[in-house]
Amino acid sequence: MPNVLALSGSPSPRSRTASLVRHVGGLVAAEGHTVRHVAARDLPPDALLAGDASHPAVREVIDSITWADALIVGTPVYKAAYSGLLKTLLDLLPQFALAGKTVLPLATGGTPAHVLAIDYALRPVLTSLGTDNVLRGWFVLDRDVTAGADGEGAVAPDSAAGVAEAAGRLITALAAPDSATARVPGLPRGLPTAV
């Protein structure tokens, strides 16, 4: 079964975005896929701000991306774009870190006016990292996600069907033999240590 890295780009300790990413990761894991969760906020800020891709914690994330066949990338929307924390992490990745991988982008925000941030802000940076398969993402209003202290949360019934549909797109892509999750020759694959 394919491996999936679920990455939250929220700086908040009680994050609706992280809860949404965990929820979608749970739906994908329920289909038998191995899902690992990484919260960018848990990485050392000094390494991120200094652009230190050799820091052990940052290396583990890069290794986790190499290990993954697909990614779930979640971000809160600030000022009509993805979070600066997520951008800082993405900037440390190798140029083609997402080559051969399927990516499902997710976003949370306070108003439906931010829904286009996925396609106009996040999708281009994901594509620039080498993926040819950014799935149609999903935006959820903040009020429709409850953040739990343990990172778990709940999605309101008004948004649950759309979230499940987005997870279904990833599950379908992972099952397709000719999907972008097929390994790219020459790229290493190995299970990294826990992040």
- pLDDT tens digit string along 179-195? 544 444 344 443 333 33
Q: What separation in angstroms does the CA of 127 have from each of 20, 99, 103, 108?
A: 22, 9, 9, 20
Residue 48 CA to residue 86 CA, distance in Å, equals: 10
CATH-assigned architecture of domain 3-175: 3-Layer(aba) Sandwich (3.40)
Residue 36 CA to residue 123 CA, distance in Å, equals: 22
Portion of the chain with pLDDT greater than 70, in percent? 89
Segment (H or E) for 170? helix 157-175
pLDDT exceeds cutoff 60 at 132: yes
Residue 161 CA to residue 51 CA, distance in Å, equals: 39
Confidence class of residue 178 from pLDDT cuts 50, 70 and 90?
A: low
Kindly list the domain boundaries of the chain, sorted by start residue: 3-175
Q: Once rounded to an integer, what is the mean pLDDT over residues 58-84?
A: 96
Q: By the 8 A CB rule, do 125 and 81 touch?
A: no
Q: What is the pLDDT of residue 188?
A: 42
147-157 residue pLDDT tens = 876 667 899 99
**Which among 131, 136, 164 has a CA at the least distance from the CA of 65?**
131
Weakest mean pLDDT among 37-41, 151-155, 167-171: 151-155
pLDDT exceeds cutoff 90 at 133: yes
Identify the DSSP state of 185.
Answer: T
Q: What is the pLDDT of residue 183?
A: 43
Q: What is the pLDDT of residue 185?
A: 37
Residue 55 CA to residue 30 CA, distance in Å, equals: 33
Predicted model pTM: 0.89
pLDDT exceeds cutoff 80 at 125: yes
13-33 residue pLDDT tens = 889 999 999 999 999 999 999
Q: Once rounded to an integer, what is the mean pLDDT over residues 135-161?
A: 90
**Which among 71, 150, 158 has a CA at the least distance from the CA of 106?**
71
Q: What is the pLDDT of residue 176?
A: 85
Q: Once rounded to an integer, what is the mean pLDDT over residues 63-78?
A: 97
Q: What is the pLDDT of residue 184?
A: 41
Q: What is the mean pLDDT of the chain?
A: 90
Q: What is the pLDDT of residue 22?
A: 95
Q: What is the pLDDT of residue 49?
A: 95
